Amino acid sequence: MIAGKKDPRRQVMGKINRARGQQFESSIAAALNYYESIGFAEMEKTPEPMKIIRPMGNGQFLAIFEKRAQPDFKGTIKGGLSVVFEAKFTSGERMEQNRVLPQQAKRLDMHELLGARCFVVVGFATGGVYRIPWRVWCDMKSYFGRRYVTEADLKQYRVPTSKVGFPKILE
C-alpha cells in the first residue's frame, strides 16, 4: 500500500463494525427502556466526555470525544440494588480483557466494593450476548487460562433474548 493512502477494505470493515456495535448498543437501550416501562429498573447511559475545540457560533462547536473514563451504564433495579456495567461488542471470535480501560475498571471496582452489581455485557457478531460478572472478567486468566474469551467459554453467562428480540441483561 502506498504511504498516506488508506486501505478501502479496512475502511469498509471499520464502518461495518461500528454499525454492528451501534446496533448492539441499541438492543441494550431497548432492554433498559423495557425495564423502565415495567417499573423494574432505572438505568442511564453514561454520556461520553467531549472536549470543545472551537466554538463555531449559533450553538455549534467543533469537539472531540475524549477517552471514556466511566462504565457505559449505571442505575438501580427494584429493591434498591445499584447496577453498573460496561458493554463491549466484537465482530471477531474473541473478546480481549483489555477492552475495558483501566479507568473504567477502577470505577467498576469501586462500585462493586460499595455493593453494586457490576458486570460486562459482551456481544458477538453471531448475535450471542453474555453477562460476565465483574470479578470473573477481572480474573479472566484464572477462569479461562488466558486474557480473552470466546463464545464457547461463556456458555454459562449467555443472556436469554426476549420475545421481541432484546437481551434480558438485568434478569
Task: Please check the confidence at residue 35 and state whether its pLDDT lies above 90.
Answer: yes
pLDDT tens-place string over residues 130-167:
999 999 999 999 999 999 999 999 999 999 998 888 89
Residue 100 CB-half CA count within 13 A: 27
- CATH number, residue 38: 3.40.1350.10
- 115 is a domain residue: yes
pLDDT for 69 equals 74
The continuous run of DSSP H or E covering 106 comes out as: helix 102-113
pLDDT for 3 equals 59
3-class state of residue 127 by DSSP: coil
pLDDT for 163 equals 86
Domain region containing 76: 8-157
Number of structural domains found in the chain: 1
User: Lowest-confidence range among 33-42, 51-60, 92-101?
Assistant: 51-60
- 163 is a domain residue: no
- 151 is a domain residue: yes
Alpha helices in 1-123 (DSSP H): 8-37, 102-113
